[in-house]
Structure 1
Amino acid sequence: MASKETTQRRSSRVRRQIKAVANGRPRLSVHRTSKNIYVQLIDDANGHTLAAASTLEKDLKGSLKTGADSAAAAAVGKLVAERAVKAGITDVVFDRGAYIYHGRIKALADAAREGGLSF
Protein backbone atom coordinates (compact mmCIF):
# COMPACT_ATOMS: atom_id res chain seq x y z
CA MET A 1 0.00 0.00 0.00
CA ALA A 2 1.26 3.46 -0.86
CA SER A 3 2.26 5.74 1.96
CA LYS A 4 0.53 9.05 2.56
CA GLU A 5 3.51 10.99 1.21
CA THR A 6 3.58 8.93 -1.98
CA THR A 7 -0.14 9.46 -2.52
CA GLN A 8 0.12 13.20 -1.95
CA ARG A 9 3.09 13.48 -4.29
CA ARG A 10 1.25 11.56 -7.04
CA SER A 11 -1.88 13.67 -6.55
CA SER A 12 0.03 16.95 -6.70
CA ARG A 13 1.90 15.79 -9.82
CA VAL A 14 -1.40 15.02 -11.60
CA ARG A 15 -2.95 18.30 -10.42
CA ARG A 16 0.08 20.32 -11.58
CA GLN A 17 -0.17 18.80 -15.08
CA ILE A 18 -3.92 19.46 -15.20
CA LYS A 19 -3.61 23.10 -14.17
CA ALA A 20 -0.99 23.64 -16.88
CA VAL A 21 -3.42 22.59 -19.64
CA ALA A 22 -6.68 23.81 -18.10
CA ASN A 23 -6.93 27.16 -19.97
CA GLY A 24 -9.53 28.44 -17.52
CA ARG A 25 -11.67 25.31 -17.61
CA PRO A 26 -13.06 24.06 -14.29
CA ARG A 27 -11.52 20.96 -12.73
CA LEU A 28 -13.61 17.82 -12.15
CA SER A 29 -11.98 16.46 -9.00
CA VAL A 30 -12.66 12.90 -7.79
CA HIS A 31 -12.18 11.47 -4.30
CA ARG A 32 -12.98 7.89 -3.43
CA THR A 33 -13.03 5.97 -0.20
CA SER A 34 -13.70 2.33 0.51
CA LYS A 35 -17.41 3.09 1.02
CA ASN A 36 -18.25 6.18 -1.06
CA ILE A 37 -17.21 8.33 -4.02
CA TYR A 38 -17.27 12.12 -4.18
CA VAL A 39 -16.84 14.51 -7.11
CA GLN A 40 -16.58 18.31 -7.28
CA LEU A 41 -16.42 20.79 -10.13
CA ILE A 42 -13.90 23.41 -8.98
CA ASP A 43 -13.09 26.82 -10.45
CA ASP A 44 -9.40 27.18 -9.53
CA ALA A 45 -9.19 30.82 -10.59
CA ASN A 46 -11.73 31.90 -7.96
CA GLY A 47 -11.41 28.94 -5.59
CA HIS A 48 -15.13 28.09 -5.73
CA THR A 49 -16.97 24.80 -6.03
CA LEU A 50 -19.40 25.08 -8.93
CA ALA A 51 -21.15 21.70 -8.58
CA ALA A 52 -20.74 18.59 -6.47
CA ALA A 53 -22.21 15.12 -6.05
CA SER A 54 -21.56 12.06 -3.91
CA THR A 55 -23.02 8.70 -3.00
CA LEU A 56 -24.11 10.14 0.36
CA GLU A 57 -26.94 12.19 -1.16
CA LYS A 58 -30.41 11.05 -0.15
CA ASP A 59 -31.81 10.48 -3.64
CA LEU A 60 -28.80 8.35 -4.65
CA LYS A 61 -28.28 6.55 -1.35
CA GLY A 62 -31.71 4.93 -1.40
CA SER A 63 -31.44 3.67 -4.98
CA LEU A 64 -27.90 2.22 -4.75
CA LYS A 65 -26.94 -1.15 -3.35
CA THR A 66 -23.65 0.28 -2.08
CA GLY A 67 -21.70 3.47 -2.56
CA ALA A 68 -18.51 1.63 -3.39
CA ASP A 69 -19.09 0.05 -6.80
CA SER A 70 -18.98 1.06 -10.45
CA ALA A 71 -22.75 1.51 -10.65
CA ALA A 72 -22.62 4.04 -7.82
CA ALA A 73 -19.72 5.86 -9.49
CA ALA A 74 -21.65 6.00 -12.77
CA ALA A 75 -24.71 7.41 -10.98
CA VAL A 76 -22.58 10.11 -9.34
CA GLY A 77 -20.92 10.94 -12.67
CA LYS A 78 -24.28 11.33 -14.37
CA LEU A 79 -25.60 13.50 -11.51
CA VAL A 80 -22.62 15.88 -11.52
CA ALA A 81 -22.85 16.17 -15.31
CA GLU A 82 -26.52 17.15 -15.04
CA ARG A 83 -25.69 19.79 -12.43
CA ALA A 84 -22.78 21.13 -14.47
CA VAL A 85 -24.82 21.42 -17.66
CA LYS A 86 -27.57 23.13 -15.66
CA ALA A 87 -24.94 25.64 -14.45
CA GLY A 88 -23.82 26.21 -18.06
CA ILE A 89 -20.56 24.24 -17.92
CA THR A 90 -19.76 21.63 -20.56
CA ASP A 91 -15.96 21.78 -20.96
CA VAL A 92 -13.86 20.60 -17.97
CA VAL A 93 -10.53 18.95 -17.15
CA PHE A 94 -10.62 15.62 -15.32
CA ASP A 95 -8.60 15.38 -12.08
CA ARG A 96 -8.28 11.75 -11.10
CA GLY A 97 -6.13 12.65 -8.11
CA ALA A 98 -3.82 9.86 -7.00
CA TYR A 99 -6.13 7.15 -8.35
CA ILE A 100 -5.45 5.20 -11.53
CA TYR A 101 -7.95 5.62 -14.37
CA HIS A 102 -9.62 2.24 -13.88
CA GLY A 103 -12.73 0.78 -12.28
CA ARG A 104 -14.84 3.28 -10.37
CA ILE A 105 -12.87 6.30 -11.61
CA LYS A 106 -13.32 5.23 -15.24
CA ALA A 107 -17.03 4.49 -14.71
CA LEU A 108 -17.54 7.96 -13.23
CA ALA A 109 -15.67 9.63 -16.11
CA ASP A 110 -17.60 7.72 -18.77
CA ALA A 111 -20.95 8.57 -17.14
CA ALA A 112 -19.98 12.26 -16.91
CA ARG A 113 -19.11 12.24 -20.61
CA GLU A 114 -22.47 10.63 -21.44
CA GLY A 115 -24.17 13.27 -19.30
CA GLY A 116 -22.82 16.08 -21.46
CA LEU A 117 -19.38 16.99 -20.12
CA SER A 118 -16.42 16.98 -22.49
CA PHE A 119 -12.86 16.26 -21.37
Structure 2
Amino acid sequence: MAKAKTGNERRRARVRRSIMKAANGRPRLSVHRTSQHIYAQVIDDGVGQTVAAASSLEKPLREGLKTGADVAAASAIGKLIAERAIAAGITKVVFDRGSFLYHGRVKALAEAAREGGLEF
Protein backbone atom coordinates (compact mmCIF):
# COMPACT_ATOMS: atom_id res chain seq x y z
CA MET A 1 0.00 0.00 0.00
CA ALA A 2 1.31 3.42 -0.95
CA LYS A 3 2.17 5.84 1.81
CA ALA A 4 0.06 9.02 1.87
CA LYS A 5 1.94 12.15 0.92
CA THR A 6 2.23 15.01 3.38
CA GLY A 7 1.23 18.56 2.49
CA ASN A 8 4.80 19.55 1.64
CA GLU A 9 5.27 16.54 -0.62
CA ARG A 10 2.01 17.26 -2.46
CA ARG A 11 2.94 20.92 -2.91
CA ARG A 12 6.44 20.02 -4.14
CA ALA A 13 5.01 17.54 -6.66
CA ARG A 14 2.42 20.06 -7.87
CA VAL A 15 5.02 22.80 -8.36
CA ARG A 16 7.48 20.44 -10.06
CA ARG A 17 4.76 19.11 -12.39
CA SER A 18 3.72 22.60 -13.45
CA ILE A 19 7.24 23.84 -14.10
CA MET A 20 8.11 20.76 -16.14
CA LYS A 21 5.20 21.60 -18.44
CA ALA A 22 6.29 25.23 -18.76
CA ALA A 23 10.04 24.56 -19.02
CA ASN A 24 10.28 23.97 -22.81
CA GLY A 25 13.74 22.46 -22.40
CA ARG A 26 15.08 25.19 -20.12
CA PRO A 27 17.08 24.15 -17.06
CA ARG A 28 15.50 24.77 -13.68
CA LEU A 29 16.81 26.82 -10.80
CA SER A 30 15.97 24.71 -7.78
CA VAL A 31 15.97 26.26 -4.30
CA HIS A 32 16.14 24.50 -0.95
CA ARG A 33 16.21 26.23 2.40
CA THR A 34 16.72 24.97 5.91
CA SER A 35 16.63 26.77 9.21
CA GLN A 36 20.37 27.44 9.00
CA HIS A 37 21.30 27.54 5.28
CA ILE A 38 20.02 28.07 1.76
CA TYR A 39 21.00 26.12 -1.36
CA ALA A 40 20.45 26.72 -5.07
CA GLN A 41 21.32 24.69 -8.12
CA VAL A 42 20.69 24.88 -11.85
CA ILE A 43 19.65 21.45 -13.12
CA ASP A 44 19.41 20.32 -16.74
CA ASP A 45 16.61 17.75 -16.56
CA GLY A 46 17.17 16.61 -20.14
CA VAL A 47 20.54 15.17 -19.16
CA GLY A 48 19.84 14.81 -15.43
CA GLN A 49 22.89 16.84 -14.45
CA THR A 50 23.59 19.77 -12.15
CA VAL A 51 25.13 22.59 -14.17
CA ALA A 52 25.83 25.11 -11.39
CA ALA A 53 25.37 25.14 -7.63
CA ALA A 54 25.82 27.55 -4.72
CA SER A 55 25.06 27.40 -1.01
CA SER A 56 25.60 29.33 2.17
CA LEU A 57 27.91 26.53 3.33
CA GLU A 58 30.74 27.66 1.05
CA LYS A 59 33.71 28.95 3.00
CA PRO A 60 34.09 32.43 1.41
CA LEU A 61 30.39 33.14 1.98
CA ARG A 62 30.38 31.79 5.53
CA GLU A 63 33.19 34.16 6.45
CA GLY A 64 31.47 37.15 4.86
CA LEU A 65 27.94 36.59 6.16
CA LYS A 66 26.54 36.88 9.65
CA THR A 67 24.42 33.75 9.19
CA GLY A 68 23.31 31.53 6.34
CA ALA A 69 19.68 31.84 7.29
CA ASP A 70 18.73 35.40 6.45
CA VAL A 71 17.72 37.47 3.44
CA ALA A 72 21.25 38.84 2.98
CA ALA A 73 22.62 35.31 2.61
CA ALA A 74 19.85 34.41 0.17
CA SER A 75 20.58 37.40 -2.04
CA ALA A 76 24.31 36.60 -1.99
CA ILE A 77 23.53 33.03 -3.10
CA GLY A 78 21.23 34.36 -5.83
CA LYS A 79 23.97 36.56 -7.27
CA LEU A 80 26.51 33.74 -7.04
CA ILE A 81 24.28 31.17 -8.76
CA ALA A 82 23.56 33.68 -11.54
CA GLU A 83 27.29 34.23 -12.11
CA ARG A 84 27.98 30.50 -12.21
CA ALA A 85 25.06 29.74 -14.52
CA ILE A 86 26.05 32.47 -16.96
CA ALA A 87 29.64 31.19 -16.89
CA ALA A 88 28.24 27.76 -17.84
CA GLY A 89 26.35 29.32 -20.76
CA ILE A 90 22.84 29.40 -19.28
CA THR A 91 20.82 32.60 -19.26
CA LYS A 92 17.20 31.36 -19.25
CA VAL A 93 15.90 29.09 -16.51
CA VAL A 94 12.61 28.15 -14.92
CA PHE A 95 12.32 28.80 -11.17
CA ASP A 96 11.59 25.78 -8.94
CA ARG A 97 10.70 26.92 -5.45
CA GLY A 98 9.96 23.35 -4.35
CA SER A 99 7.57 23.22 -1.44
CA PHE A 100 8.59 26.66 -0.18
CA LEU A 101 6.40 29.73 -0.51
CA TYR A 102 7.67 32.55 -2.74
CA HIS A 103 8.34 34.82 0.19
CA GLY A 104 11.28 35.98 2.30
CA ARG A 105 14.53 34.17 1.58
CA VAL A 106 13.22 32.36 -1.51
CA LYS A 107 12.00 35.63 -3.01
CA ALA A 108 15.28 37.39 -2.16
CA LEU A 109 17.27 34.63 -3.90
CA ALA A 110 15.07 34.84 -7.00
CA GLU A 111 15.31 38.63 -7.24
CA ALA A 112 19.10 38.56 -6.81
CA ALA A 113 19.40 35.90 -9.52
CA ARG A 114 17.34 38.11 -11.86
CA GLU A 115 19.59 41.08 -11.07
CA GLY A 116 22.59 38.85 -11.77
CA GLY A 117 21.37 38.22 -15.33
CA LEU A 118 19.21 35.08 -15.22
CA GLU A 119 15.85 35.28 -16.98
CA PHE A 120 12.79 33.53 -15.57
1:110 corresponds to which residue? 111
Offset from partner CA, 1:44-91 (integer Å, 9 cap, x none): 111000000000001101000000000000000000000001111000
CA distance in 1, matches of 2:118, 2:98: 18
Normalized against structure 1, the TM-score is what?
A: 0.96
Q: Report the secondary structure of 2:6's partner residue.
A: helix
Q: Report the secondary structure of 1:18's partner residue.
A: helix
Q: Where in structure 1 are there 5+ consecutive unaligned residues?
A: none
Cα deviation for residue 5 of structure 1 reads: 1.4
CA distance in 1, matches of 2:87, 2:14: 31
CA distance in 2, matches of 1:70, 1:64: 11
Normalized against structure 2, the TM-score is what?
A: 0.95
Bigger CA radius of gyration: 2
Q: Where in structure 2 are there 5+ consecutive unaligned residues?
A: none
1:101 corresponds to which residue? 102
CA distance in 2, matches of 1:76, 1:117: 13
The ranges of structure 1 where at least 4 consecutive aligned residues each deviate by more than 6 angstroms after the TM superposition are none
- Percent identity over the alignment is 69
